[in-house]
Structure formats: structure tokens, C-alpha cells
Amino acid sequence: MTAQNLPYEPEFEQAYKELASTLENSTLFQKKPEYRKALQVVSVPERIVQFRVVWEDDKGQVQINRGFRVQFNSALGPYKGGLRFHPSVNLSILKFLGFEQIFKNALTGLNMGGGKGGSDFDPKGKSDNEIRRFCVAFMTELCKHIGADTDVPAGDIGVTGREIGFMFGQYKKIRNQWEGVLTGKGGSWGGSLIRPEATGYGVVYYTEHMIKYASGGKESFAGKRVAISGSGNVAQYAALKVIELGGSVISLSDSQGALVLNGEEGSFTPEEINAIAAIKVDRKQISELASTEAFASKFKYIPGARPWTNITGRIDVALPSATQNEVSGDEAKALIAAGCKFIAEGSNMGSTQDAIDVFEAHREANAGASAIWYAPGKAANAGGVAVSGLEMAQNSSRVSWTSEEVDNRLKGIMEDCFKNGLSTAQEYVTPKEGSLPSLVAGSNIAGFTKVAEAMKDHGDWW
């Protein structure tokens, strides 16, 4: 994949190889060999925009950051994907995220292409005024390249409703038009109900279908011990939905460490999750809560750790919901040893290729009920962008739907995502006797073929 004249882009290469390997190991290229050319074409972005962002901090000093927008594929609709503000942001990470976004958006069934963007700006430690000034400078350049029918960014790591508001205001001032150019907007000015909850709720709805299918309808989240990583938007709402459905949440984490339930009884409560959400708004770490009497008596805080190997007792379900490559091969083995039967990614590319190989080998070697079943982020966490698509639809028609209507549509989309990946795996990948179908292969093939067919119709390959 990597040409000699191109820089090494490890995250993008990983995402590409993960998709390409599942296509190669299926019967897709045997049945339709012309799709090899489609894979070559779809792996090159249609356009990459890179720009400088010059802004002034509270001391009056000029600061410089890099801004990016990778407009990867518009075969199915306007480019759609989040903006990430984090010091780790580089072109490799944004290309990987944009590449995954193409197929994730295809799986929702909505008319959205794939893209991703952001900056190496770090919101942590910045005042609200510094963040506002940065967002204004960032959007002053980005606004030249986006629009409701061209490219519709959303939030991602480091970009909350506050940042979306600052950027929307600057877009409106420069372009002199109000349009649904960003999703994740405030509820009183074009945002959709359930949008903040959508990714977390969606990954739980998807996993619920996994549990029901694997158990023949006999089991649900009720009584399940669920390990969740992260403590941001996705993790918070996934945890709240798990509790609502009768499960026990036994871990959350952040970039500094993991907060894990002591013993085999109990769960995070909604009140405890809300307390964590409150400190995250103030850009503080979990460790500040972990040392308080209320938390220290119930949880143990492990600095520099992820939850997967630090939980006492069994793990039934794992929901990685922090960032990319947060489950290693060794951690995958530890999850299996802890009895985990379901892992679904709330984060994008949450598992390393080594981890995926461990999960898939275990699935193939064991009968359905005794195997771990892995769902990739492009399918399991599609709920966020799905509701972004629903927000776009509401903006276009100048209407607002109720929470119940949006939630019901989200549930339907996640069910379709699951069934599409399942049936496609059954068509193109023959599982061993008694083993569950490969959701990673099925989701990859289903998303890829939909995009490839649209590109062929447009003359992008033939």
C-alpha cells in the first residue's frame, strides 16, 4: 500500500490493512475481482486541506497550530466526520479516521460520505476565551472548504458543544448564511435531541443485538458485568444505558489511569457517572475524584493503566470507548481469560490488529456460546454519525424531532448495522462449524461494496 515517495503513516496503514485483509480472506474478490481496483481508488483521499491556525492566548502572545481536513470520499453524500482537537493529531491519524468514516457512514444507510479533520491544539489548560479565539481562527480558514451540501463536520475528541458553537458562529459571520454545516449544535439553534448520547447509546444497542443473537434470545444486558474505558461523552452515555438495561458498569478511565470497582459486587451508579461527567467539563482528571472518600471506599484507582487487566472477577462485556489502539494483543487474551464474551468498540479502531487476531481466532476455534465475539468501531459506534445524519435531515427541513423519534430511528439504524454485517459475513465468509459469523469481515465488506458500487456508477473506477 505504501508508495516509496509517501511518508510512513502507521495509523492509516493499520486501518487500510485491517480492511484489505478481511476482503482478501473472504470470497469477495473471487466473485468480483474488479473490486481490487475499487479498493485502490477508495484508499486515496479525494482532497486534503492543511492550513496554519494563528491565534492569541490570554497573555497576548501569538500561538500557532496546524489545521487539517481530510475529505476522503463523497460517493454517498457530503463528506461527514468529526473534528478532533488534541496534541496527537497528525495526518496519519486523520486519514485513518476518515478512511474508517467512509464505511461507517455507509453502514448507517444514510447519504453521507467520509471525512475527518482537526488540529494539534490542546484544549486542556486553556481558558474559554483562548478556546474561543482558537475556534474563530480555525473556522476562518476551514469555512472556505465546507458547507451543508459539501462537507459537514461534527465534534470528536476535544470538540464539545462549546467549540461547535464558537465555530458555527464564525462560519455564519463569514459566509452570511445559516445552514446545517456542523452537527452537534445546541438544541435551540439546530441541534438534534439524543445527539450527545448517540454514540454511547448506539454501541449498547448494537451489543444488545450481539447478546441476543449469540444466546438465541435468552440473554440481555441484565446481570452482565461491563468494563468500559474512557470517561468522555461516549463512555458516559454507554455506561448510563448499560445501567438502564440492568447491567453493572465496573470500570471507567481517562488518559491518566483507570477507576475500577472493588470486588465482584456492585456497579457505578448514575450519580457517580454524572460526577465524573461534571469534572470532565472542567477538563480535570478522574484521579481528583478517586481520592475522595465516596469514591475511594468503592473503587480503586490505578495510575497509567487501562481497565482490561485490572478488574477483579469476571468481565462479560467490554466496551472500549476512549481512543485508538487501546486494547493490545495481551489485553485481548486477558479479557478472554476473564470470561468476556462480547467486545464492541465505542472508540475508532479501539483494538490493535494483534487484539483483533486474538478475538477472531478465539471466535473461530470455539462454538458460539463459549467464544468471544468482536464488533469493530465502524459498525458498533456508528450511532453518533447516524444521529448527525438525522440532525442534517432536520436542518434541511427546518424541523425538530422528539427524543423518542430520534431514539427509535437510532435503534433501527443500529439494528440494521448489525443485521447487515451479519448477513454479509454469512454470504462471503464461511465460518467453522458452530462458530459465530465474523462481524469485522461482514461490516468491512458491506460498507466497502456499497461505496464501491456508488463510485463505479459515478465513473470513479470501471
CA distances from 224 to 319, 327, 336, 401 (A): 12, 20, 15, 33
| Structural contact between residues 248 and 226, judged by C-beta atoms closer than 8 angstroms | yes
**Grid cell 486519514 in the structure block, residue:** 95
397 is in an annotated binding site: no
Contacts of 56 (CB under 8 A, 6+ apart): 62, 63, 133
Asked whether residue 101 is marked as a ligand-binding residue, the answer is yes
Residues 6+ apart with CB under 8 A from 62: 54, 55, 56
Q: Is 80 annotated as a binding residue?
A: yes
Provide the pairing of β-strand 342-344 with 373-375.
parallel
218, 266 Cβ separation under 8 angstroms: no
In angstroms, the first-to-last Cα distance of the chain is: 20
| Biggest distance spanned by C-alpha atoms of the chain | 67
The distance of Cα 375 from the centroid of its chain, to the nearest Å, equals: 12
**C-alpha–C-alpha distance, residues 271 and 308, integer Å:** 23
Beta-bridge partner residues of 83? 117, 155
CB 380 within 8 A of CB 203: yes
In sequence order, the β-bridge partners of residue 327 are: 351
Q: How crowded is the C-beta side of 38, counted as CA atoms within 13 Å?
A: 24
Given a contact cutoff of 8 angstroms between Cβ atoms, the answer to whether 115 and 70 are in contact is yes
Residue 116: strand, helix, or coil: strand
Is 432 marked within a binding site? no
CA distance 141 to 435: 51
Catalytic residue annotation: 116
Residue 199 marked as a ligand binder? yes
3-state helix, strand, coil in the chain (%, to 5): 45, 15, 35
Question: Could you give the CA distance from residue 172 to residue 178 in angstroms, rounded to a whole number?
Answer: 6
Give the three-state DSSP class for 421: helix
Nearest alpha-carbon partner for 77 in 182, 151, 153? 151
- Spatial CA neighbour of 360 closest among 436, 446, 433: 436
Residue 258 buriedness (CB in 10 A; 0-12 / 13-18 / 19+): buried
Binding-site positions: 80, 101, 104, 155, 199, 233, 388
Binding-site residues for NAD(+) sit at 199, 233
